[in-house]
Amino acid sequence: MNILTISTTPFDDQKPGTSGLRKKVTVFRQPHYLENFVQALFNSLDGYEGATLVVGGDGRYYNRTAIQTILKMAAANGFGRVLLGRDGLLSTPAASALIRQHQAFGGIILSASHNPAGPDGDFGIKFNTGNGGPAPENVTEAIYAHSREIRDYRLLKAPDLGLGGAGETQLGAMAVEIVDSVVAYAELMEQLFDFDAIKALFKSGLFSMCFDAMHAITGPYAREILEHRLGAPVRTVINAEPLEDFGGGHPDPNLVHAHELVSLMEDRNAPDFGAASDGDGDRNMILGRRFFVTPSDSLAVMAANAHLLPGYRLGLAGVARSMPTSMAVDRVAEALGIECYETPTGWKFFGNLLDAGKITLCGEESFGTGSDHVREKDGLWAVLFWLNLLAVRKQPVERIVREHWVRYGRNYYSRHDYEGVDAAPAQELMERLRGGFDALQGRQFGSLQVKFCDDFSYTDPVDGSVSSRQGIRIVFQDGSRIVFRLSGTGTVGATLRVYLECYEPDRRRHDLDTQEALATLIGIAEDVAQIRKHTGRSAPSVIT
Ligand code: VG1
Ligand code: CO
């Protein structure tokens, strides 16, 4: 066999962030850059000799090139088999499902999620462990450490492999099996949800929906499940064809970037239900007719209604949310008498809780919800969850959410992002906040008094590992909160995220505009953090 050992020198910027290593394509294209990271990953692992690795990505520009390199390196490093998504495509949740179904050693997912793609766009690489979930921090830290001392990498000298078709080929001593992940994923969804009830809903002629795949990975999955298996009319799925540049768009399912769907849902003749997913298929946005469901509310509604759906009829073991996610789900957990865990941002922190059977559902404010069926957030799963719920409750989306608020109260919630600001002043803003905790404790802002402020630290209840500096929170006596974090997924400068939340139990006050309801907190955030001064911006670049 023809295994080359190629000399290299370390790059100093290969530290994985919230979700893997994300960089500009131009960075990944530097000679040895991808190879160094992949070898550092392999060097940090033990016991993969002869084992199975799942490989695939969201189809963005550079996906195919990267896959050829990864296959040859996996072969040269001694993996026994690669399960490759056909054409190199795998949604993030489908990759997680595949790892679990085949009890693979792990998987490499190529994606920068919703970040724009193309030669000048972003690329990313992420390792998932044998439970199907994103590698925990001790693994990503080990990869980073290896990337700092790498001297060479191993590559099989072989021609490029065809990524289409089906079946098995050989790459050196390693087998490469091309799999159709759409069918396996669809079958998993059939086990969780009442497809007959959803079919009947579409057949009734009284219900319509639009799913925007945003020219990203979910198109083929959504078409197969919604249009073929559930009988939704053709063209229920729009922008269904995955494109290398996502059609020049920004496949982030929120009110700002999913504008085609949003304007459709605001129309007089809007469908009853609208949904969208992101670049790699793990995010979701849920819309009713002229009605937006915040991701935090979506998680809470799901938790409150899960017992109505076949896959969750036995109830929930517990729930979890990331710290900045609104506390709406906490109230549901309390009513159900189950535990609600609060984790740092990023799906990797849910893995242990799911594996230990402590939680069944979990979610993040950033349009991510998921359950114990895989170890990633899952966009299409969330959409099917809602569809099943609509079929069972036979009420519009808005009615379901409003009834939820009446019962549990409403958590007004918003996130303000200041994207691509200069890194140094953004860091300074965070440091100044940290330095000002003592002065803030107990301070009165109008009718609001600070109960406590801290930098969130998490102790994993399963393995005891500690993750500190996970976001600054200012919590008021009435439960209102402001959270400040710097993004760990960006590729240019820094992105400041300001998360705002207040609770309104009174149903007569459930119709306020969200930004108005949060106006006092928005003012306090500016006051304590001097956002304008530090970012040079007079307003957030994205409000969700
Ligand atoms: C963001 C979100 C976080 C999410 C992460 C990955 O991270 O805030 O909740 O888990 O993206 O999602 P950050 O560090 O930029 O705030 V995805 O769909 O981009 O894989
Ligand atoms: Co994503």
Q: How far apart are CA 487 and CA 497, in angstroms?
A: 7
Please enumerate in sequence order all residues whose Cβ is within 8 A of that of 324, keeping only pairs 6 or more positions apart, or say none: 345, 364, 365, 415, 471, 483, 485, 497, 499
Q: How far apart are CA 356 and CA 215, in angstroms?
A: 36
Annotated catalytic residue, options 44, 96, 113, 371: 113
H helical segments located in 130-229:
137-149, 181-192, 195-203, 218-222
Domain boundaries, the chain: 3-179, 184-408, 410-543
Per DSSP bridges, beta strands 361-364 and 339-343 are unpaired
**Residue 41: φ, ψ to 5°:** -60, -50
Closest CA to 326 of 365, 284, 369, 368: 365
Please enumerate in sequence order all residues whose Cβ is within 8 A of that of 177, keeping only pairs 6 or more positions apart, or say none: 81, 82, 83, 84, 167, 168
User: CB–CB of 381/93 below 8 Å?
Assistant: yes
Beta partners for 153? 6
Q: Please identify, in words, the CATH class of the domain defined by 3-179.
A: alpha beta
3-179 and 410-543, same CATH topology: no
Ligand 1 atom at shortest distance from the alpha carbon of 365 = 9
CATH number of 410-543: 3.30.310.50
User: CB–CB of 410/296 below 8 Å?
Assistant: no
Phi-psi region of 50 (alpha: psi -120 to 50; beta: other; left: phi over 0): left
Task: Give me the average pLDDT of each 10-residue run along the chain (544 residues).
Answer: 93 94 97 98 96 97 97 98 96 98 98 93 97 94 98 97 92 96 96 98 96 96 98 96 92 92 95 97 97 98 98 97 98 98 96 97 98 98 98 97 98 96 95 94 94 97 95 96 93 94 96 96 96 93 94
Ligand 1 probe mutation, 15, 19, 483, most atoms within 8 A of CB: 19
Q: Is 282 in the pocket of ligand 1 (CB under 6 A)?
A: yes
296 tagged catalytic: no
The answer to whether the predicted template modeling score (pTM) of the entire model surpasses 0.75 is yes
Q: Please identify, in words, the CATH class of the domain defined by 184-408.
A: alpha beta
Q: Is 487 in the pocket of ligand 1 (CB under 6 A)?
A: yes
* CA torsion through residues 258, 261, 265, 271, sign: negative
Q: Is 283 in the pocket of ligand 1 (CB under 6 A)?
A: yes
User: CB–CB of 517/412 below 8 Å?
Assistant: yes
Q: Is 376 in the pocket of ligand 1 (CB under 6 A)?
A: no
User: CB–CB of 296/413 below 8 Å?
Assistant: yes
User: Residue 305 Cα, ligand 2 centroid: separation in angstroms?
Assistant: 25
Please name the residue whose Cα sits nearest to atom 8 of ligand 1.
366
Task: Encode pLDDT of 449-488 as tens digits.
Answer: 999 999 999 999 999 999 999 999 999 999 999 999 999 8
Ligand 1 atom at shortest distance from the alpha carbon of 278 = 18
Cβ atoms within 10 Å of 252's Cβ, excluding its own: 24
